[in-house]
Structure 1
Amino acid sequence: MNVVPIRFSSLSSAALLMAMVVSWSSGFIGYRYVADQGSVYLASLWRFLLAALLLLPFAWAGLRGLRGKAVLHQALLGLFAIGGYIGPIAASIQLGVTPGTASLFANLLPLTIVLLAGSVPGQRTRGWQWLGLALCVIGMLLASAASVEWAGAGLWVYSLPLLAVLSLAAATLFEKARPGVAMPATTALFIQTCAVIPLFALLAGLEGEVRPPISADFASGVLWLVVFSTFGGYGFYWLCLQRFSMQRISGALFLTPPVTLLWAWLQFDDPLSVSAMLGIGLTLVGLPLLGRKASEKNVPPASCRKLNPQVTSQ
């Protein structure tokens, strides 16, 4: 999502990454609120309907003058990064995979992005980053292990969360390699949310209901998902993708499981095991190594820019 560039100081960059992590974690908390009130598909439908309505006044000016190719670019990002990520994970839970097991697969996203980063020029993982990656992966697995249960779902069902991870990773690589036309973040996110509304309307309709339940818990849960998980989660994710290397973004995303575990412990009194604490510690040790030689200098030197005037700094 090639948004209008914004410059950040070191402090604001760290704050931006942390905001992405906290907002990304909020989705697990939000869906826990609405799980007892209706299906995940129904909650997602109304989540993106409300998000699109709230974004429209801010996106309207940016929509004028956009060409079909730019709109299609953002719509495809929405289908793969939002619909292709949330839909399969929700389907796996509906078919018997426990939420803990589904989240374990979902937490493989940063690993997948790092492993595939070599296909994007200037994003190859090198040196100490591999050690940092290994520590982060081990820490993530230890932190998530306590919530994993292998339920009686069919073997093929467990491929759905993996499909979700590949879908979002593909959207990330595509956007990093071939950013679209520069536009305000609100405009791009509006197009993306509109693109997934028909998908979740179809999925909710197949379950037999598209009307929201009259429930304060459902309404507050959907509002939570709109503000924190959609505006915050995807908004900060795309902004970070414009500002940082894929290794640094992936390193930050490794903090999502620990943050979610701590959040659930504080808010729902979920148990926090010794293995979870050990996993959090390993993740924190691995993060500086993963970012030690991150390939964030994506901008060519001045001599190269003179040869290619279309290359600009962020």
Structure 2
Amino acid sequence: MSKPQDRWRFILATAAVLLPFAWAGLRELRGRDVAHQGLLGLFAIGGYIGPIAGSIQLGVAPGTASLTANLLPLTIVLLAASVPGQRTRGWQWAGLALCLTGVLVASGANVDWDAADLWAYCLPLLAVFSLAAATLFQKASPGTSMPASTALFMQVCAVIPVFAVLACLEGEVWPPTSAGFAGGVLWLVAFATLGGYGFYWVCLQRFSIQRISGALFLTPPVTIIWTWLQFGDPLTLSAITGVGLTLLGLPLLGMSPVDGLGSSKAARHSSCSL
């Protein structure tokens, strides 16, 4: 239920790209570190890509699957209260509302709810909850500090058996031997696995959940602008409006509630002293 490119890019990324950079860190790992990263890989990579690819194969329109996947930052922010120190507060809620409205307005035209059976539309939702669970688990229990290349290597390795089993069930064990397929895999390795997912995991270690979610809300605007520049797709009024609302909400969503609370307390203390 996953595309050949989705299966084989992980094998290529592991064998040809990640292993040389991860080798030094792998020698210092303990069993619980491997289990921790493996669990993250199963939920964040296998649990996200597998259901979305499966829903598209079952007839769900790519635009509809993409719109559902764009609910990921909303899900993460709503569940952030379960992680100590990550609760959403104040103006961040206004930013979340603006970003969500922008995504829905910009992507709503691509929705088609009649292309597949109703249950197939639950698969993108399952993907959203899977990656959201992995994100919150990593924030709540970061585990042992290690280089990003080492963590990504183990997460990728954890999903190789999953996609290998799917490949056997589909009868497509070996990838096509064509230049187009090889180029597609290299593109996915460089930009999706290492550039997209790898960068997401690095940001998760450094920034708050709200700021990370704000970056995820940029996915539809960037896609819309890229398709306009690259393929000449028209920029509709709804797309422009949605992009504008998202950009207005990002600074609010990225505000630090701790700093804001501290500033408010300082202001009250100053006024009382006067």
2:145 matched to 1:182? yes
Tell me if 1:217 matches 2:180: yes
State which of 32, 39, 43 in structure 1 corresponds to 2:5.
43
Deviations 1:13-41 (A, max 9, x none): xxxxxxxxxxxxxxxxxxxxxxxxxx843
Question: Normalising by structure 2, what TM-score?
Answer: 0.91
Question: What is the aligned partner in structure 2 of residue 167 from structure 1?
Answer: 130
What residue ranges of structure 1 are gaps of 5+ in the alignment? 1-38, 298-314
Q: Residue by residue, what CA displacement relative to the aligned partner does 1:71-104 show, whole Å, maximum 9, x if unpaired?
A: 0100110000000000000000000100000000
Pick one of 163, 173, 176 that aligns with 1:200: 163
Q: 2:272 aligns to what?
A: none
30, 34, 43: which one pairs with 1:71?
34
Alignment of 1:72-87 (within 5 A): 72-87=35-50
Q: Describe the SS at the equivalent of 2:110.
A: coil
- Superposition map of 1:146-161 within 5 A: 146-161=109-124
Give the Å deviation of 1:295. Answer: 4.9
The 5-angstrom pairing of residues 103-114 of structure 1 reads: 103-114=66-77
Aligned residue pairs total 259
Q: Which one of the candidate residues 211, 214, 219 is aligned to 1:248?
A: 211
Contact 1:106–1:164 at 8 Å: present in 2 too? Answer: yes
* 2:22 alignment counterpart: 59
Matched, 1:141 2:104: yes
Q: Which residue is 2:82 aligned to?
A: 119
Change (3 A) 1:41 1:296: farther
TM (normalized to structure 1)? 0.80
The structure carrying a bigger helix percent of its residues is 2
Contact 1:247-1:294 within 8 A present in 2 as well: no
Query: Which deviates more from structure 2 when the two are superposed, residues 169-178 or residues 215-224?
Result: 215-224
Provide the residue aligned with 2:190 in structure 1: 227
> How much has 1:255 moved relative to structure 2?
0.5
Given the superposition, is the C-alpha separation of residues 296 and 82 from structure 1 closer, same or farther in structure 2, using an over 3 Å criterion? farther
Match of 2:264 in 1: none
Paired letter, 1:50: L
| Deviation string, structure 1 residues 191-217 (Cα, Å, up to 9, x no partner) | 011111111111122222121112222
Aligned CA-pair RMSD:
1.5
- Deviations 1:151-190 (CA, angstroms, capped at 9, x unpaired): 3311111000000000000000000000111111111111
Identity %: 73
The amino acid across from 1:114 in the alignment is V
Deviates more, 1:200-209 or 1:251-260: 200-209
Q: Is 2:2–2:166's contact at 8 Å kept on the other side of the alignment?
A: no
Q: Which runs of 5+ in 2 are unaligned?
A: 261-274
Partners of 2:2 and 2:163 within 8 A in 1: no
Cα distance, 1:289 vs structure 2: 1.2
Equivalent in the alignment of 1:15: none
Larger radius of gyration: 2
CA distance in 2, matches of 1:76, 1:271: 42
2:256 and 2:39 mapped to 1: Cα distance?
A: 32
Distance 1:141 1:43 in 2: 29
Question: Contact between 1:91 and 1:160, CA under 8 Å: does it hold in 2?
Answer: yes
SS in 2 for 1:146: helix
1:82/1:196 contact within 8 Å kept = yes
Q: Does 1:267 align with 2:230?
A: yes
Counterpart among 88, 105, 108 of residue 51 in structure 2? 88
